[in-house]
């Protein structure tokens, strides 16, 4: 989940987004451009769900995920 958030943050920053108190798409401001540990539980939950859905999709494509 932290990796999902870090990746999203890098994309947003590369597109010119900066930290803002509230989300303002036109001004490219977003309040979640902070370290994962500082996110609200709702935002962390969203990132966890994104990570789980990514794993499910990879498995659906026929790949196996193993821990070494």
What are 18-66's pLDDT values in tens digits?
999 999 999 999 999 999 999 999 999 999 999 999 999 999 999 998 8
What are 51-61's pLDDT values in tens digits?
999 999 999 99
CB of 3 within 8 A of CB of 19?
Answer: no
| pLDDT exceeds 90 at position 12 | yes
Cα angle, residue 6 at apex, residues 38 and 13 outer, rounded to 5° = 100
pTM of structure: 0.84
| pLDDT exceeds 90 at position 68 | no
Question: What is d(CA 64, CA 45) in angstroms, rounded to the nearest whole number?
Answer: 24
Q: What is the pLDDT of residue 22?
A: 97
């Amino acid at each position: 989940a932290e990796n999902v958030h870090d990746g999203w943050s890098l994309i947003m920053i590369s597109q010119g987004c900066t930290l803002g108190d509230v989300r303002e798409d036109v001004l490219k401001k977003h309040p979640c451009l902070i370290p994962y540990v500082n996110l609200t539980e709702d935002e962390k939950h969203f990132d966890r769900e994104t990570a789980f859905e990514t794993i499910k999709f990879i498995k659906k494509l026929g790949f196996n995920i193993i821990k070494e």
